[in-house]
Structure formats: structure tokens, C-alpha cells
């Protein structure tokens, strides 16, 4: 897939979130109530769409590193169920400097929930990160 394919594609924003990280822990991006994205409940998502997730990280540091993750889950009475690593198409490592990381998520049957995460490796540097989740029309 080329950038030209994406710029002419039917792309719809499903959610965006921002988070900071300055500790060696994992943090979930908060997309607003209910925090994670339930594709089945989003009017901008159409069955058969591809899911593109774009992460950004900015920092003035060079010591710690950042990485990202995408989890999927079944529905549990209207809430997110037990999460597991989603099938993605590449590395989600951000590194030790400013970064843009993107991945397509392969959706699994019966797992309409998505959770995006960021993980830091130390306490020296602060990262400001964003996650944007897009539905991309199936024609791409």
C-alpha cells in the first residue's frame, strides 16, 4: 500500500488520545468514555474496514525508549473483555527519540474492542504520545 493509496482512500477517524510517559510502566491511551474503542458501537466503522493506528512520540531526551501496543478483546456485557495482543503488520517500537509508528490491525472475529498502549523503559526522559485510530475503506 502506498501513501497515494491512503490519501485517496475512504479514511474515517475512530478515535484519538494523548498520554505522557516518564516511568518504566505501561499506560493505556484513554479515548474517552469507555476509555477503549468498541468498533461495534462506532458509527464511523463499517464492517470490512481496515484499521490503521498511528502513534507519535515526542521527547527532548535520548536515554529512555518508548514502544506502543494494540490489544483486542471480546465484548463483556458492554465492556471490554480479556485483552490479548492484536495481530499487527509491523514493529511498534518508537525508540529513544521523536517517532511516528503506524500499523494495520487485523481484526479477529468476536473481538470488537481495541486498546492502545505505550510502554516506557526508564524514568529519565518524558515522552508525549498520541494515538489515532482510523477506519480505512475496504477498497484499499
| 6 pLDDT higher than 60 | no
| 7 pLDDT higher than 70 | no
pLDDT at position 138 is 72
Stretch 108-136: mean pLDDT: 96
CB atoms within 10 A of CB 5: 11
Give the Cα separation of 36 and 5 in Å (integer).
28
**60-94, pLDDT tens digit by residue?**
999 999 999 999 999 999 999 999 999 999 899 99
Report the DSSP pairing between strands 37-38 and 75-76. unpaired
Give the Cα separation of 100 and 53 in Å (integer).
11
- Its pTM stands at 0.91
Number of domains in the chain: 1
Q: Which domain holds residue 63?
A: 3-136
Average pLDDT score, the chain: 92
78: domain CATH number? 2.60.120
pLDDT at position 49 is 94
Residue 37 · residue 133 · CB < 8 Å: yes
**9-39, pLDDT tens digit by residue?**
689 999 999 999 999 999 999 999 999 999 9
Q: Which residue has the cell 474503542?
A: 37
Amino acid at each position: 500500500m502506498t501513501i497515494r493509496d491512503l490519501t485517496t482512500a475512504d479514511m474515517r477517524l475512530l478515535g484519538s488520545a494523548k498520554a505522557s510517559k516518564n516511568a518504566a510502566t505501561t499506560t493505556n491511551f484513554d479515548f474517552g468514555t469507555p476509555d477503549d474503542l468498541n468498533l461495534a458501537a462506532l458509527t464511523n466503522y463499517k464492517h470490512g474496514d481496515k484499521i490503521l493506528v498511528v502513534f507519535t512520540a515526542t521527547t527532548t531526551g535520548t536515554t529512555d525508549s518508548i514502544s506502543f501496543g494494540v490489544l483486542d478483546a471480546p465484548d463483556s456485557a458492554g465492556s471490554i473483555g480479556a485483552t490479548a495482543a492484536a495481530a499487527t503488520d509491523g514493529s511498534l517500537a518508537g525508540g529513544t527519540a521523536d517517532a511516528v509508528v503506524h500499523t494495520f490491525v487485523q481484526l479477529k472475529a468476536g473481538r470488537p474492542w481495541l486498546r492502545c498502549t505505550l510502554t516506557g523503559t526508564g524514568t529519565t526522559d518524558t515522552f508525549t504520545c498520541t494515538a489515532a485510530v482510523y477506519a480505512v475503506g475496504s477498497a484499499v
